[in-house]
Amino acid sequence: MGVLISIARRKAFLRRGRWVSADAGIEQMLNAATESWIRETGGPPIDSPDPEQILAAEMVRRFGGRILGHSTRKDNLVKRLYFSRRQLLLDFSKDENTNDKIRPLQS
């Protein structure tokens, strides 16, 4: 269901892949770093039983701080969420096998 962390004596809560904090700077920093991390690494492993715990641990590692609390979901909603974010952030423009003559349909 979510992870509560503390960075620079400010709390932030991760739920469904988005960070929320009373400190707008921390919130923006964590959300930007999350997007960057998913783009760079693919994010949490696909078979991870708790992708939000892995994401929170990575943000704590990057920025210092600690995990204060954590609860898990029993269904696969969070796993599907991270899988879809991973797919949306993949950069297909660097694929050497892409045919440059193929263009998206224009509406």
Does 29 fall in a domain?
Answer: yes
pLDDT of the chain, 107 residues: tens digit per residue: 689 999 999 999 998 889 999 999 999 999 999 999 988 888 888 888 888 899 999 999 999 999 999 887 666 666 666 666 665 555 556 555 555 555 555 55
What is the number of helices (H) and of strands (E) in the chain? 3, 4
DSSP state of 16: T
What separation in angstroms does the CA of 27 have from each of 16, 20, 21, 33, 49? 14, 6, 5, 10, 25
Does 97 fall in a domain?
Answer: no
Does 99 fall in a domain?
Answer: no
Does 95 fall in a domain?
Answer: no
Does 36 fall in a domain?
Answer: yes
Does 28 fall in a domain?
Answer: yes
Does 107 fall in a domain?
Answer: no
Please state the domain count of the chain. Answer: 1
Q: How far apart are CA 32 and CA 55, in angstroms?
A: 13
The boundaries of the domain holding residue 16 are: 2-88
Does 26 fall in a domain?
Answer: yes
